[in-house]
Structure 1
Amino acid sequence: MSILYVVSDRPGAGKTALCMGLVRTLRARSKSVAAIKPISDGEDDIDAAMYAELLGSDTRDWPVANAEDVSGGNLDEISALINGLASENDIVIVEGSNGLAGTLGRIVCDNVDAKVLVVARYDASLSHGVVLAAGAPYGGRVIGYIVNGVSQYMGTDARANLVPQIAAQASMRGARVLGLIPEDRRLLGMSVSQIAAHLDGEFISEEMEGDALVEYLMVGGMSLDPGEYYYGIHDNRAAIVRGDRPDLQMSALSAPGSTACLVATGGITPIEYVRYEAEQEETPIILVQSDTLDTMARLDSLLDSSSFSHPDKLKRSVELLEEHVDIEGLLHAL
């Protein structure tokens, strides 16, 4: 049995996506794998629900405690839970909490003899010192580092400068850089239902099966190009259009690719013909009272808080891990 404890340099670095993706990836290699997040990041932590929904994890005992309330007794209970899973599986992946002090996380790792994987969220200011500091409390238990969310235009700099600096220091401690994962539009997306809830919107179309993932927000009337060409630039899009613009709404529905939803702004219900075509295309229509500019401003805040809770995101996470992370090297280190 092997236990992998995953930590990060900051909240939002991608631990949950990485942990869930690793579970799926390792299960595909015929490994028996369990995951657990025993310590929550606060009362509004929804990760347990996501593990249950996307992986079918039994989360009834999650969390043992919130990070700020952890005590010695909690650490014993957490260790017992992890060891119990380890006795039944080849690999247990433990998602660490950013709110937990590294010294306490180290105690858990020592109790269960866990190896540690560090994930760091990339930005232009990220230094090798910050990445290494995230793993410092765990000493020789760290087996590897993954840099996540590398933007398309900064990839060369990250590979040429950041990764060699991390690797040089990590190798002296018996660890290595296991991967550099690019930023991905799908992982930054949001579901149609999340958009509707965030905007206090009303579905005025027939209820559609599933809950499509939106990767691009496209505002109608912002281009001089023909509507179908404009909307066809991006797939998995949400078209945000005034309710009294059937020309733009029809362009969004007929453009190549998929329109995940129409957002009709201004409190104006689209005409019957548009509603019929949307139903034929199985595209939900969300009616909102705010105007188009205010709607887009509100959606900006949703982008900042987008969660991992969608099966398409898990599928994409697995694809990114297979392509950009040394999974065999990780297994060997475990």
Structure 2
Amino acid sequence: MAKTLMIGSCEPFSGKSALVLGMARKCIASQKKVRFGKPLATTVELFSESESRNSKIIDEDVRFIGKTLGLSAKDLIPSVDYISSESSESRLIDSNLQPGIRFEEFKETLLDPIDGINILEGAGSLHEGLLYGLSLVELVKRLDIPALLVHTWQDSRSVDDLLAAKQELEEHFVGVVLNGVDPSEINNIQTKVVPALGALGIEVFGIMPRSPLLRSVTVEELASRLEARVICCSDKLELMVETLSIGAMSVNSAMEFFRRRRNMAVVTGADRTDLQLAALEASTQCLILTGAGEPLPQLVNRAEELEVPLLRVDRDTLSTVEVIENAFGHVRLHESVKATYAFRLVEEHCDLTRLFSRLETHS
């Protein structure tokens, strides 16, 4: 089998795709060939049931990363299966826990020799995909390949999941890249936590700081999740939102607050024109109006002048805020600006040279 590495995580949206991008670009820069795929697809273009049985399944994350890296179509490894409520129900009713014939085809693809590496990205957690016979633990053992985890680090309690993963993956566990670390804590983790993890048999290949940009969400994504009506600037929905502000204070207090924030989505009542106009003069990416009433013409005109989208939602402020907060850090890396930042983040904060050297010696 060609050199193959599985990138996994203990929980979804931990930064796997960002690490894949950084690793793959490093290989390509070294004139090494890269093939990439997700054994279990989670986002695909809609297709009919007959097409799903006969067509290659290429996950949308795989398409995006392939396009970003300039990979050819033959370097995108088709998925074995697509996780959905329909396919999950069918497997459950049939009590079918085997990956099926497509897994053998998938394995054959990995056997083709290349001067480089096959990079595989696992599902959201160690156990997602068990119903398909395609959980991360099952895959690395069936394929006999090493696994590197990307793990969101909050404090020392975060080590529990890593210890459990190391125990389950056994000799296939290579190590971890810690992600989402408070920048002020990086030095402490490097000097104290990394040696302690090493003593527990957990090798750390990188410490990536928390990134507001990578956690950000487009205005278009927010509009979709909120089922919002776009009042103006529909051509600016690609703007990235990094923070959330709620306009529920006096104008003077709001101005001071808004000045300290950047790339905001501001949620406020449709009747608070004073706050809305104040928000437009700050680093606001979109205004989201709740409650009764429609925005005044002067607000719409000013928003159009400043090219700030106005969204109107049929929700109360509390539920609107909840939807937005759930979106941050839980969207896929499908924007070129995020990909560019991911390249730099991995290059600056991960020791890929040591990782590739470790893979060469991994049995």
Q: TM-score, normalised by structure 2?
A: 0.75
Q: Which moved more, 1:241-250 or 1:191-200?
A: 241-250
In 1, Cα distance between equivalents of 2:121 and 2:163: 18
Match of 2:301 among 266, 269, 276: 276
Match of 2:122 among 82, 96, 101: 96
Evaluate the alpha carbon distance shift between residue 227 and residue 23 of structure 1 in structure 2; reply closer, same or farther with a 3 A threshold: same
In 1, Cα distance between equivalents of 2:249 and 2:356: 49
Partner of 1:65: 81
After superposition, give the CA deviation of every residue in 1:144-169 in whole Å (9 maximum; x if it has no partner): 32122223465465445432222124
Q: Is the 8 A contact 1:192 1:260 kept in 2?
A: yes
Partner of 2:323: 298
Report the CA distance between 1:275 and its aligned residue: 1.3
Q: Is the 8 A contact 1:5 1:109 kept in 2?
A: no
- SS class of match (2:333): coil
The answer to whether residue 139 in structure 2 is matched with residue 105 in structure 1 is: yes
- SS class of match (1:222): coil
After superposition, give the CA deviation of every residue in 1:79-126 in whole Å (9 maximum; x if it has no partner): 122334x53x6232111233244553234432xxx4432222223353
Letter in 2 for 1:134: A
Q: Is the 8 A contact 1:128 1:165 kept in 2?
A: no
- SS class of match (1:278): helix
Letter in 2 for 1:285: L
The answer to whether residue 289 in structure 2 is matched with residue 264 in structure 1 is: yes
In 2, Cα distance between equivalents of 1:94 and 1:268: 50
**How many residue pairs are counted as aligned between the two chains?**
323
In 1, Cα distance between equivalents of 2:135 and 2:207: 26
Partner of 1:164: 195
Report the CA distance between 1:269 and its aligned residue: 2.5
Partner of 1:8: 9
Structure 1 segments unaligned to the other structure (5+ residues): none
Q: Which moved more, 1:148-157 or 1:93-102?
A: 148-157
In 2, Cα distance between equivalents of 1:25 and 1:246: 50
In 1, Cα distance between equivalents of 2:100 and 2:322: 45
Q: Is the 8 A contact 1:268 1:287 kept in 2?
A: no
Letter in 1 for 2:116: D
Evaluate the alpha carbon distance shift between residue 302 and residue 129 of structure 1 in structure 2; reply closer, same or farther with a 3 A threshold: closer
In 1, Cα distance between equivalents of 2:167 and 2:220: 41
- SS class of match (2:154): coil
- SS class of match (2:104): helix
Evaluate the alpha carbon distance shift between residue 287 and residue 278 of structure 1 in structure 2; reply closer, same or farther with a 3 A threshold: same
In 1, Cα distance between equivalents of 2:13 and 2:172: 23
Match of 2:59 among 34, 48, 54: 48
The answer to whether residue 231 in structure 2 is matched with residue 196 in structure 1 is: no
Q: Is the 8 A contact 1:240 1:264 kept in 2?
A: yes
Letter in 1 for 2:121: E
Q: Is the 8 A contact 1:37 1:94 kept in 2?
A: yes
Partner of 2:260: 233
Structure 2 matches for 1:114-125, cutoff 5 A? 114-124=145-155
Evaluate the alpha carbon distance shift between residue 102 and residue 304 of structure 1 in structure 2; reply closer, same or farther with a 3 A threshold: closer
Letter in 1 for 2:261: H
Structure 2 matches for 1:149-228, cutoff 5 A? 149-152=180-183, 155=186, 158-170=189-201, 176-209=203-236, 211-222=238-249, 225-228=252-255
The answer to whether residue 178 in structure 2 is matched with residue 147 in structure 1 is: yes
After superposition, give the CA deviation of every residue in 1:262-297 in whole Å (9 maximum; x if it has no partner): 112224332222212211222111111223333223
Partner of 1:75: 103
Q: Is the 8 A contact 2:237 2:309 kept in 1?
A: no
The answer to whether residue 341 in structure 2 is matched with residue 316 in structure 1 is: yes
Report the CA distance between 1:128 and its aligned residue: 4.3
Q: Is the 8 A contact 2:44 2:58 kept in 1?
A: no
- SS class of match (2:157): coil
Letter in 2 for 1:284: P
Partner of 1:330: 355
In 1, Cα distance between equivalents of 2:158 and 2:322: 32
Partner of 1:250: 277
In 2, Cα distance between equivalents of 1:124 and 1:292: 32
Partner of 2:52: none
Identity of aligned residues (%): 27
Report the CA distance between 1:260 and its aligned residue: 1.2
Letter in 1 for 2:63: A
Q: Is the 8 A contact 1:31 1:91 kept in 2?
A: yes
Q: Which moved more, 1:280-289 or 1:12-21?
A: 12-21
Letter in 2 for 1:79: K
- SS class of match (1:204): strand
Q: Is the 8 A contact 2:182 2:209 kept in 1?
A: yes
Evaluate the alpha carbon distance shift between residue 178 and residue 240 of structure 1 in structure 2; reply closer, same or farther with a 3 A threshold: same
Report the CA distance between 1:214 and its aligned residue: 0.7
